[in-house]
Amino acid sequence: MTSRYAIGPNEAKQFDTTALRENFLLQNLMQPDECNLVYTHYDRMIVGGVMPANETIVLPKEAALRAEYFLERRELGIINVGGDGKVTTENGEYELTKLDCVYIGKGTKQVSFSSDSAGTPAVFYLLSCPAHHTYESRKMPKEEATPSNLGSVDTANERTIYKYIHNDGITSCQLVMGLTVLKNGSVWNTIPSHVHDRRMEAYFYFDVKEGQRVIHLMGHPQETRHMVVNNYEAIVSPPWSIHSGCGTASYSFIWGMAGENKDYTDMDPVTLDDLK
């Protein structure tokens, strides 16, 4: 597990492209038969990826957490963006097809990941944050994730939003998690932009086609910057930063938050007139 430290807006606006990518872009999360984790100092969120191909991968005991086991003081959200697979704990087994989610509650001692087929492995995206209470572990298939259709062809942002872990979905301490699938021909996400000073956010881009990219926009609304992002790469978005993007083709992304509250609508809009 590596670490990313918190960066303020005054510091970030001095960064060149290399520094921006080193501090906010998470690469190589999905590697065959590995569990890769990044500990961020934004609300202590851990961002990770597990792609079990030929082996069952166990969620490790990380020395940096100073805990008896990974979820001793944490909760965990998992979304599968690959082939069929399983998440197994001491309390049960959860079969996940593509876009299914499972929440694992605080106090779960054993978590492992496996794929049904090595040829089409599961690709598990992980978000974990500190938890003060044990809530029941629960699976939610994509069909139950209250899908809602938003946007339009005219603004190139026709999309379906799936909400999994939130106030009206799976109960958690502070974790909020869901995903957005852009329709063919639509490329813009999260426009108009916004910030939410009470919560950090992480974006994970997937189903970015071979040879295509997403241009992720971040930064203070009056000091915006961009990064070119590939498939299976994630962005750590500080509370002061906008988080928008435009792809060279349609794509999907997982959004996840932790912080002061779980109110999905808690945001401070930034109009296009105010962006610079």
Mean pLDDT by 10 residues, the chain (276 residues): 95 96 98 98 97 96 95 98 98 97 98 97 98 97 93 95 95 97 96 94 98 97 96 98 97 97 92 94
User: Residue 264 has what pLDDT?
Assistant: 86
The domain of 149 spans 2-274
Distance CA 27, CA 6 (A): 18
Number of separate domains in the chain? 1
Does 192 sit behind a cis peptide bond, omega within 30 degrees of 0 on the bond before it?
A: yes
Local structure of residue 231 (DSSP, 8 states): T
φ, ψ at 157 (rounded to 5°): -140, 35
CB atoms within 10 A of CB 52: 24
User: Which residues contact residue 37 at a Cβ distance below 8 angstroms, ignoring those fewer than 6 apart?
Assistant: 1, 2, 46, 47, 48, 60, 62, 126
Residue type, 146: T
Per-residue pLDDT, 123: 98
* Both tokens assigned to 80: 């599968």
pLDDT, position 146? 86
Residue 188: partners with Cβ closer than 8 Å, 6 or more residues away: 151, 155, 156, 157, 244, 245, 246
What are the helix and strand counts (H, E) for the chain?
2, 24
pLDDT at 112: 98
Structure tokens at 63: 């020395």
State the pTM of this model: 0.97
pLDDT for residue 173: 97
Cα(106)–Cα(164) distance, integer angstroms: 18
Which CATH number do you get for residue 212?
2.60.120.10
Closest by alpha carbon to 203, among 225, 223, 230? 230
34 CB-near residues (< 8 Å, 6+ apart): 50, 51, 57
